[in-house]
Structure 1
Amino acid sequence: MHALRECIPQLFEVGAKKLYLVHIVDITATDIEAVELMKIDEEELNRIAEEIRAKGIDVEPMVKIGIPSLEIAEIAQENNVDLVLVPSKGENILRQMLLGSTASNLVRATKKPVLLVKYEWDEEEEKIKCLSNCREIFKRPIVALDFSECSEKVLNVVKKFEELIEEITLIHVVDYGRAEELEKNIENAKAKLEEFSRLFKAPVKSEVLAGIASRSILGSALARDSSIIVMGKKGRSVIKDLLLGSTAERVVRDSKLPVLLVPCE
């Protein structure tokens, strides 16, 4: 509800055009008659939609019965959405992912970019708070590139919101090769990032680091006061990657910044 009332309107201030407001009655988790529950949820979602519509936002509410991640992925595909936004609770995300939460299952299932906006509980205020200003999410992206075919898809997504960008940081982490190849690999990476930087009109900084990719990305994002981390996610192997501790999973788990995951399929 905080995301709907605070974050979503801010995204419309910077150019969003239409909101698909989706609620799925989880057919695997409800003991109540699903159709009856659907009617109740439709009434509630329509009420919320009216509240958002009053702010001048074009909103289309949808309630369906099914498996949430699959239904949301299908709706995103059918309506050719640009972005799936998922509010995410900070500290518990690893546990949620390993238990197969809707958010992680959705990231695996959808072919659309997924924006995870981080929230946490404010002990002093005794209320939930967003860790970002959604109006400024796209201003200072740090874009992690691994030079695979996926990198081109990641850059194409960043190009879509280039007009909102004040400065871009392109980052590559050398976590491969033998020790004696390190200097050469770093120089090659710098040359590739320089080539990628020419794709943008906005100011671009590039950084090549050596070490553990997730730590380097998170550290650089913090040092540069980035507003969002953008990176690719590898299709359906994500659960295996999660269990093995992939770069994407670690960044999603540990980042307090929003993370935009771009599908690489």
Structure 2
Amino acid sequence: MYSFKKILLPVDESKHSKKAITFAGKFLKYFIKDISQITIFHVIRLSYLTAHEKRIDLRVEFLKESELFKKLKEQYLKEKIKPILDEYEKILRDCGITIEIIKRVDEGDPGNKIIEVLCKEDYFSVFLARRGISLTESLVMGSVSTKVVYNAKKQVVYLIGEKFSEDQVDSVSKILIPVDGSEYSKKAVEHAVYVVKGLGEKIKKIKLLRVINLDVYQERINQGIDPEKEAGENLSIAKKKFLDEYIPEKLIQTQVLIGIPSKEIIKEIKENNYDLVIIGRRGRSPLKDLVMGGVSSAIVYHCIEPTIAIINL
């Protein structure tokens, strides 16, 4: 069973980060008993020194050893970064987060540093702000969230949606879980069960959706298998996971559709105002996803309103 343990909260000075921190606080307070540590993590880009380029040697090999660099960094941390991290810690505390909060600063490329920390340290989940750009744009521009989504090997990545408002009392009440019977899908269901149990009566709707790909549908027919019956069985297995944890059956809806999975799931999300979508990811690169039309990528880059939790194996 998935459970929250160590949580990484990468941040910058933007309004998007403030929203992500607020979501994390209002969401994670229901899982406090499981969490050992939350880390607020800021990565300084060396570009912040460009304003001083006439005063110091900007060649990278000299920067970090330069006394002027050290003084500028100390001043920058004190005047610009510490107040922001203190503000984010206060937001978490005001939301009811009582466990240890670490404030951590590093230098370099934010995406690469976040991945490095996730790979080397035992974090279960990372909560990221998102800025609503397409997969193509993110590949060209080097989006931090794209780097993390495609390089996090075992973490659950939460991308905070635009729908969430900082003045919301609760963060999640309606959840969608696309199901296809794969190991990735099963892990998504396991995490969803854990989330629903933690949020308790805050949850008003759980939707389990199976979209049968048209090509797969015909293949199954040719094999003498009823694809809709098979899909129904997959949904029943997923539903039982919730019922086994005493989650009220009246909250759970199941549906089988036939079509192009990404299109049908996106349509479902946009028409039904979900707060959270929990999906498994197959582990392809962003370029392969762009070419092959990965379902999880399509959902992430076409549905910016809900928060999306991506389950990596």
Q: TM-score normalized by structure 1?
A: 0.80
1:97–1:46 distance in 2 versus 1, CA, 3 Å: same
- Please state if 1:7 is matched with 2:23: yes
> Are residues 1:47 and 2:89 paired?
no
Deviates more, 1:96-105 or 1:219-228: 219-228
Separation in structure 2 between the aligned mates of residue 252 and residue 214 of structure 1, nearest angstrom: 10
Q: What's the CA shift for 1:25?
A: 3.1
Query: Cα 1:52–1:68, aligned 2, differ >3 Å: closer, same or farther?
Result: closer
8 Å CA contact retained: 1:151, 1:232 = yes
Could you tell which deviates more after superposition, 141-150 or 20-29? 20-29
Deviation at 1:135, TM superposition (A): 5.4
Residue 88 of structure 1 and its aligned partner are, at CA, apart by: 0.9
Contact persistence 2:24–2:127 (CA under 8 A): no
What residue number does 2:127 align with? 85
Q: Following the alignment from structure 1 to structure 2, what is the Cα–Cα distance between the partners of residues 26 and 157?
A: 34
SS in 1 for 2:204: coil
Higher relative contact order (CA 8 A, sep 6+): 2
Matched residues in 1 for 2:178 and 2:261: separation? 9
Shift of 1:79: 4.8
Deviations 1:150-203 (A, max 9, x none): 122212222321221333111111013254846921111011111110111323
Deviations 1:27-48 (A, max 9, x none): 7998656644754554333222
Give the match's secondary structure for 1:61: strand
Of the candidates 68, 86, 111, which is equivalent to residue 69 of structure 1? 111
Task: Confirm or deny: 8 A CA contact 2:190 2:241 kept in the other structure.
Answer: no
- Structure 1 stretches of 4+ moved >6 Å: 27-31
Q: Distance in 1 between the 2:135 and 2:219 partners?
A: 36
Change (3 A) 1:96 1:115: farther
Identity rate of aligned residues, in percent? 19
Q: Answer whether contact 1:77 1:112 (CA < 8 A) is retained.
A: no
Q: 1:213 aligns with which of 261, 275, 278?
A: 261
Q: CA RMSD in A?
A: 2.9
Counterpart of 1:25 in structure 2 is 44
Q: Could you tell which deviates more after superposition, 28-37 or 247-256?
A: 28-37
Amino acid at match of 1:54: K
Contact 2:184 2:280 in 1 (8 A): yes
Q: Which residue of 2 aligns with 1:141?
A: 175
Structure 1 residue aligned with 2:280:
232
Residue type of the alignment partner of 1:263? N
Instruction: Show the 5 A alignment for 1:62-211.
Output: 62-90=104-132, 92-99=133-140, 100-110=142-152, 111-119=154-162, 131-133=163-165, 136-163=170-197, 164=199, 165-175=203-213, 176-179=215-218, 181=220, 184-200=226-242, 201-202=246-247, 203-211=251-259
Aligned length: 252
Aligned to 2:4: none
Query: In structure 2, the residue corresponding to 1:71 is in which secondary structure?
Result: helix
Counterpart-to-counterpart distance in 2, 1:198 and 1:83: 25
Counterpart of 2:294?
A: 246
**1:68/1:160 CA distance change after superposition, 3 Å:** same
Residues 178 and 146 of structure 1, relative CA distance in 2, 3 Å threshold: closer
21-30 vs 241-250, which moves further: 21-30
Q: Which has the higher helix share?
A: 2
Cα offsets for 1:79-110 (capped at 9, x unmatched): 533321111112x2334322131110111111
Q: What displacement does 1:147 show?
A: 1.5
Q: Would the aligned equivalents of 2:186 and 2:238 in 1 still touch at CA under 8 Å?
A: no
CA distance in 1 between counterparts of 2:47 and 2:151 reads: 17
Bigger strand share: 1
Q: Cα distance, 1:210 vs. partner?
A: 0.8
8 Å contact 1:21–1:62 — kept in the other structure? yes
Post-superposition offset of 1:223:
3.6
Q: Hey, what does 2:6 align to over in structure 1?
A: none
Separation (CA, whole Å) in 2 of partners of 1:29 and 1:49: 17
Q: Structure 1: which 5+ runs fail to align?
A: 120-130
- Cα distance in structure 1, aligned partners of 2:128 and 2:47: 21
